[in-house]
Amino acid sequence: MISVEQAQSRLLALAPPPVEELIGLSDAHGRVLMHPVVASRAQPPFASSAMDGYAVIDDGRTHWTVIGESAAGAGYFDPIGAGQAVRIFTGAPVPPGADRIVIQEDVDRVDDGIRLRGGADTARYIRPAGGDFEAGFVFEAPRLIGPAELSLLAAMNAAAVTVARRPKVVILSTGDELVQPGESPAPDQIIASNAIALAALVRNAGADPQVLPIAKDRETSLMQAFGWAENADIIVTIGGASVGDHDLVGAVARKCGFVSDFYKVAMRPGKPLMAGQRANTVHLGLPGNPVSALVCGVVYLAPLIRKMLGLTDVYPEHKKAQLGVAAPANGPRAHYMRAFVQNGIITPFDRQDSSLMHLLPMANALLIRPPNAPELKKDDPVHYIDF
Ligand code: AMP
Ligand code: MG
């Protein structure tokens, strides 16, 4: 059996390179920028006022004659001379020659001008041209575009950006015992709860999920479903991955032309994980147990999507915490334990059965116990990933 790390890197090696598309900036939230963007203008494009007040030449005097006004969007561009002031507002161009904005709270209006009060603020309140970024400033890629990135890209006047096309991820639940949420299950049936959770995970990772109708545990039904996934970038199957009489996914994937890359990982939960490839479609076969499916979604599927989007930092970050309780020695498989972490203290749940869904919303972390890890005491350092 291969390790978690081996399975991760073998799976990611199957990822085809990202496909580019040009989109408007208003559609770019949550997308991955593929090429650096170069600013064609400086920001601010002119020296601008940081306050409401008066632009002056600061030569020690305390009285100025007001000769005009500079407002945001209605600038005053003539040079000013000694003893002259221009009424100015935040964001407005500072007239050539002026080297200080005296703030309006610090002056009294007198006849034709202004007089500085004693104890006035001595800061200059001028934002220099290009003080935020210069023309030619490079915003590097690849990177995920969130609200902060949108703000900068818009300021750079990048009206359209080249991003990675969202991978199409087809999700297939398999099993005669499953019905869709909202349907009426027979006495021996349960609700297919994994697909909807994985679709959300897929969307969060930046891809487009499509949930297929549930496939029966029959070759014909599975073959048909694999056929529907013809144009997918990733086909995620759920269940049917073990060695039971009704676990047909691996065999059908091969029959449909997928070349198997690995099967089974030294991991708990998630041992019967499988991966393969056909042309530019990756097959990821997840175990059916709800916890296994979701944990494998976090550990394998989300990083695969991020790789397909061209991102470089794709794996969940391994964070450090201290154990809130003692933990027994671990067996030969890495154990990803549902846990709750707060203020640097992590406590794994007592019950770790991979079928338990009521505990899922209470977990915010997966505590990682490496293969054959020794027994640990309370307060010992451990690693976890967010969950
Ligand atoms: P399997 O890998 O098909 O043997 O499934 C393992 C366990 O997970 C069985 O108890 C299944 O009923 C359950 N299971 C499989 N697929 C799903 C699903 N999509 N949603 C919820 N439970 C599932
Ligand atoms: Mg099954």
Kindly report, residue by residue over 102-119, the tens digit of the pLDDT: 999 999 999 989 999 999
- pLDDT at position 247: 85
Share of the chain above pLDDT 90, in %: 98
Q: Which atom of ligand 1 is nearest to the CA of 217?
A: 3
This prediction has a pTM of 0.93
- pLDDT tens figures, 250-267: 999 999 999 999 999 999
Query: Which domains are assigned to the chain?
Result: 4-18+166-308 (3.40.980.10), 20-41+136-164 (3.90.105.10), 48-127 (2.170.190.11), 319-386 (2.40.340.10)
Per-residue pLDDT, 338? 98
- One-letter amino acid identity for 145? I
Centre of ligand 2 to C-alpha 365, Å, is 27
Kindly indicate the confidence band of residue 244, based on its pLDDT and cuts at 50, 70 and 90. confident
pLDDT in tens, 24-75: 999 999 999 999 999 999 999 999 999 999 999 999 999 999 999 999 999 9
Q: Across residues 197-209, what is the average pLDDT?
A: 98
Q: What are the backbone dihedrals phi and psi of residue 254, each rounded to the nearest 5 degrees, phi first? A: -60, -45
Closest ligand 1 atom to the C-alpha of 287? 2
CA distance 183 to 174: 16
Summarize the confidence of residues 195-213 as an average pLDDT. 98
Condensed to tens digits (0 to 9), the pLDDT of residues 9-35 reads 999 999 999 999 999 999 999 999 999
Per-residue pLDDT at 195 exceeds 90: yes
Q: What are the Cα distances from residue 239, in Å, to 175, 177, 193, 289, 356?
A: 7, 11, 12, 7, 16
Which pLDDT score, from 0 to 100, does residue 365 have?
A: 98
> Residues 239, 174: contact at Cβ < 8 Å?
yes
Q: Is the pLDDT of residue 193 over 90?
A: yes
Q: How far is the CA of 240 from the centre of ligand 1 (A)?
A: 8
Could you tell which of 170, 174, 194 is best to mutate to test the pocket of ligand 1, judged by most ligand atoms within 8 Å of the CB?
A: 194
Mean residue pLDDT of the chain comes to 97
* Residue to substitute in 218, 238, 243 for testing ligand 1 pocket (most ligand atoms within 8 angstroms of CB): 238
pLDDT surpassing 90 at residue 214: yes
Does residue 242 register a pLDDT over 90?
no
Distance of CA 304 to the CA centre of its chain: 13
With cut-offs at 50, 70 and 90, classify the pLDDT of residue 295: very high
What's the confidence (pLDDT) of residue 245?
Answer: 84
- Residue 137 pLDDT > 90, yes or no? yes
Sequential DSSP letters for 263-291 = E-BSEES-TT-EEEEETTEEEEEE-SSHH
Place of tokens 């006004």: 69
pLDDT mean over 120-137: 97
Instruction: Give ion ligand 2 contacts, CB < 5 A.
Output: 175, 239-240, 288
